[in-house]
């Protein structure tokens, strides 16, 4: 059971207002016994409803009490002199009024608006909790990724790739892990022109080996490339998008030996 979804479903509000079946009440009470989050949500809703009822309570007009007591004062209508005239009992059909007093209607409307606002507040808080939970999940994933990268770098050999004759000021770094995993960090290479990509090469036994293309779509400063063994050097060339089977030597930008 997803507790946050269960809380935001409206079952707690209906439970406090007495608008759910006995079976649903029993299920909720069972969940409350085993989940403090649901128990807290029920208690908070009960408290908010109580405060709302107190704030929206409307006292009946003060003159009502005086008028009722006046009408009930039968002694003021008795004559102390003269004879008593027996009254003929005449049954008059009772008139039942179905009109609802204005103050009662106002209180009902206030309560309904209050409950609607309360439901909105509960849903808003649940949405905020969901957002916080999603942000925490995203942050945890980023922290885990950074921790993993940090551990990889601690056990990697760093090879500095310096600019060749035509690009003397350019730099890039290759991290070669003990497990033969390779990571590339671009330092200050310019953005590749449209239709072009940077391609990493490893020199193994004097021959260039394709290590993959550097993707400009990735936000990370480090990008994992292909794995390699017995590399003697690394180099980066600018190739057509998708790469070439052999490097274009005239388009080499940086190189570094191990």
Q: Is residue 3 part of a domain?
A: yes
Query: HSE (CB half, 13 Å, CA atoms) of 183?
Result: 20
- Give first-to-last CA distance, the chain, whole Å: 55
Tokens 């999940």 correspond to what residue? 137
Q: What's 129's DSSP letter?
A: H
Please report the pLDDT score of residue 209 as a whole number: 96
Please report the pLDDT score of residue 31 as a whole number: 83
Tokens 């388009």 correspond to what residue? 251
Q: Is residue 69 part of a domain?
A: no
Q: Say yes or no: 34 and 12 in one domain.
A: yes
Nearest-angstrom CA–CA distance, 227 and 238: 20
Q: Is residue 81 part of a domain?
A: no
Q: Say yes or no: 251 and 141 in one domain.
A: no
Q: Is residue 67 part of a domain?
A: no
Query: Which residues have a Cβ under 8 Å from the Cβ of 99 and sit 6 or more positions away?
Result: none
Q: Is residue 108 part of a domain?
A: yes
What are phi and psi for residue 161, nearest 5 degrees? -100, 115
Please report the pLDDT score of residue 98 as a whole number: 45
Tokens 């290590």 correspond to what residue? 211
Q: Is residue 147 part of a domain?
A: yes
Nearest-angstrom CA–CA distance, 201 and 112: 71
Please report the pLDDT score of residue 78 as a whole number: 47
Please report the pLDDT score of residue 167 as a whole number: 93
Q: Say yes or no: 112 and 196 in one domain.
A: no
Token pair of 75, please?
């002694």
Please report the pLDDT score of residue 81 as a whole number: 47
Q: Say yes or no: 139 and 163 in one domain.
A: no
Q: Say yes or no: 116 and 227 in one domain.
A: no
Q: Is residue 93 part of a domain?
A: no
- Whether 248 and 196 have beta carbons less than 8 Å apart is answered as no
- Report the run of H or E that residue 44 belongs to, with start and end: helix 36-56
Q: What is the CATH number of the domain that holds 174?
A: 2.60.40
Q: Say yes or no: 6 and 27 in one domain.
A: yes
Q: Say yes or no: 231 and 195 in one domain.
A: yes
Q: Say yes or no: 50 and 134 in one domain.
A: yes
- Report the run of H or E that residue 17 belongs to, with start and end: helix 11-17
- Boundary residue ending a domain (154, 189, 222): 154
Query: Which residues have a Cβ under 8 Å from the Cβ of 226 and sit 6 or more positions away?
Result: 182, 210, 211, 212
- Boundary residue ending a domain (138, 154, 170): 154
Nearest-angstrom CA–CA distance, 119 and 218: 42
Q: Say yes or no: 225 and 210 in one domain.
A: yes
Query: Which residues have a Cβ under 8 Å from the Cβ of 126 and sit 6 or more positions away?
Result: 4, 7, 8
Q: What residues make up the domain containing 166?
A: 156-257
Q: Say yes or no: 178 and 144 in one domain.
A: no
Q: Is residue 80 part of a domain?
A: no
Q: Say yes or no: 13 and 139 in one domain.
A: yes
Looking at the 3D structure of the chain, how many domains does it have?
Answer: 2
* 3-class secondary-structure state, position 9: coil
Q: Say yes or no: 106 and 40 in one domain.
A: yes
List the chain pLDDT tens, one digit each, 258 residues.
Answer: 577 777 788 888 888 888 888 888 888 788 888 888 888 988 888 888 777 777 666 666 666 666 766 666 555 544 444 555 555 555 544 444 444 455 555 555 556 556 665 666 666 666 766 676 666 666 555 555 556 666 676 778 999 999 999 999 999 999 998 889 999 999 899 999 999 999 999 999 989 999 999 987 655 567 999 999 999 999 999 999 999 999 999 999 999 998
């Amino acid at each position: 059971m997803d507790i946050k979804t269960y809380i935001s479903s409206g079952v707690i509000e209906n439970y406090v207002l007495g608008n759910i079946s006995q079976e649903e009440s029993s299920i909720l009470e069972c969940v409350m016994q085993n989940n403090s989050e649901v128990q807290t949500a029920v208690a908070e809703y009960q408290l908010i409803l109580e405060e709302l009822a107190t704030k929206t309570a409307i006292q009946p007009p003060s003159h009502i009490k005086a008028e009722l007591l006046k009408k009930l004062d039968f002694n003021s209508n008795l004559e102390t002199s003269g004879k008593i005239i027996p009254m003929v009992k005449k049954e008059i059909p009772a008139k039942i009024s179905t009109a609802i007093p204005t103050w009662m209607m106002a209180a009902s409307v206030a309560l309904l608006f209050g409950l609607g606002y309360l439901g909105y507040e509960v849903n808003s808080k649940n949405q905020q909790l969901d957002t916080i939970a999603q942000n925490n999940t995203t942050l945890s994933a980023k922290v885990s990724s950074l921790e993993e990268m940090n551990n990889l770098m601690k056990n990697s050999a760093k090879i500095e790739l310096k600019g060749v004759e035509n690009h003397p000021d350019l730099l890039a770094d290759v991290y070669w892990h003990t497990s033969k995993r390779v990571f590339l960090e671009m330092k200050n290479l310019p953005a590749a022109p449209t239709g072009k990509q940077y391609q990493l090469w490893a020199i193994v036994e004097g021959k260039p080996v394709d290590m993959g293309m550097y993707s400009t779509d990735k936000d990370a400063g480090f990008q994992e490339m292909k794995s390699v063994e017995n590399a003697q050097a690394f180099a980066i060339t600018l190739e057509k998008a998708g790469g070439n089977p052999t490097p274009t030597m005239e388009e080499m930008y940086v190189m570094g030996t191990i």
